[in-house]
Structure 1
Amino acid sequence: MVQATPFVLVLFLALGAHGLSVEKVLSGWGGQEAAAAGTCSAFSILQCSLTGRWVNDLGSNMTIKIVNANGDFTGIYYTAVSATPRRTKSSPLLGSQHLPYQLNQPTFGFTVHWTFSDSISVFTGQCLVDNDGKEVLKTMWLLRLHEEKPGDDWKATR
């Protein structure tokens, strides 16, 4: 049994899928949320922006603050799923993407330092716009747990 596995990671690993898809949401009137969807003419270029709040289908969410001119960004991640007995908390994230002015659907990577366990996750992916004009993130990830003994290294990365 995994002792401290934040995020949706355990579920996706158990199912044999190392990918994750999340959709961007916008705050609406009265605190309601709706998936972000754009309307584009046949001649417009679809552009995906990492900035904003993203939610996956299990309820975990992250908010990415402004992406600077170098493509660097920070944010907060909150997981709705965890195997740790501790209460989950918001965790900081730090990342980088290809320069926003160069790519309309950029690749990116970020690290989450889980504040409620001694583990770190790294994500890499691409910000895409689907056929309906919705922004989605397609990611792959690794989770590294802390191990006391070098002989236990084999079970520390998921």
Structure 2
Amino acid sequence: MAAPPMASLLFSVFSLVFLGEGRAFPTGAPQAPGKCRLEGTWVNELGSRMSISALDEEGRFSGSYLTGVSASQNPIRTSGLSGAQQQGPQPTFSFTVQWSFSDSTTAFVGQCFVTESGEETLETTWLLREAAPSHAQDWKATRVGKNTFLRLK
């Protein structure tokens, strides 16, 4: 015997709302990510290594950066960095590196994330500006890129 039309409609609504058309719903509340901290030593996919000091009460920090790659003909040396971060569990941040071995500066912006497995990563985008020998060559003086840093344990 066929179900009355109203009962069929109610079962369909119940199925969509509570059963999700056969999809499994998570049983617990989503886990909030842990707090990501910038201070410490980080390495990126190119082998560049940076160390970030403890943050002051306004979120400012300093540190050092040893790049794993360079277009300069000069020997690579460790360079200073300085920056600031916003507050929050997965903060945004920015810092600049004034390269000690070339006539260039790099500005980084990014965000510190904690993965579901508890690993901290820094996702960054950077602009590198090298000195142009003339105004006519200004067009090729800025590069842009992305790097992911992992905490060195």
Task: From 92, 97, 106, give the equivalent of 1:107.
Answer: 92
Task: Report how many aligned residue pairs link the two structures.
Answer: 114
TM-score by length of 2: 0.71
Q: State the distance in 2 between where 1:129 and 1:48 align.
A: 6
Identity of aligned residues (%): 47
User: 1:28-43 to 2 correspondence within 5 Å?
Assistant: none
Greater Cα radius of gyration, structure 1 or 2 = 2
Task: From 81, 85, 99, give the equivalent of 2:73.
Answer: 85
Task: From 122, 125, 142, give the equivalent of 2:110.
Answer: 125
Matched to 2:100, the amino acid is T
Q: State the distance in 1 between where 2:56 and 2:110 align.
A: 18
Residue of structure 2 in register with 1:149 after alignment:
134
**Gaps in structure 1 of 5+ consecutive residues:** 1-41
Matched to 1:122, the amino acid is A
More helix by share: 2
Matched to 2:119, the amino acid is K
Matched to 1:73, the amino acid is F
Report the Cα offset of residue 131 of structure 1.
1.7
Q: Is residue 97 of structure 1 aligned with residue 82 of structure 2?
A: no
Query: What do you get for the CA RMSD once the two structures are aligned?
Result: 1.4
Matched to 2:78, the amino acid is S
> Matched residue of 2:46: which SS?
coil
Report the Cα offset of residue 46 of structure 1.
0.7
TM-score by length of 1: 0.69
For residues 33-63 of structure 1, give each alpha carbon's deviation from its aligned partner in whole angstroms, at most 9, with x where no partner exists. xxxxxxxxx7665110000000112211000
Q: Which structure's relative contact order is higher, taking Cα pairs within 8 Å and 6+ residues apart?
A: 1
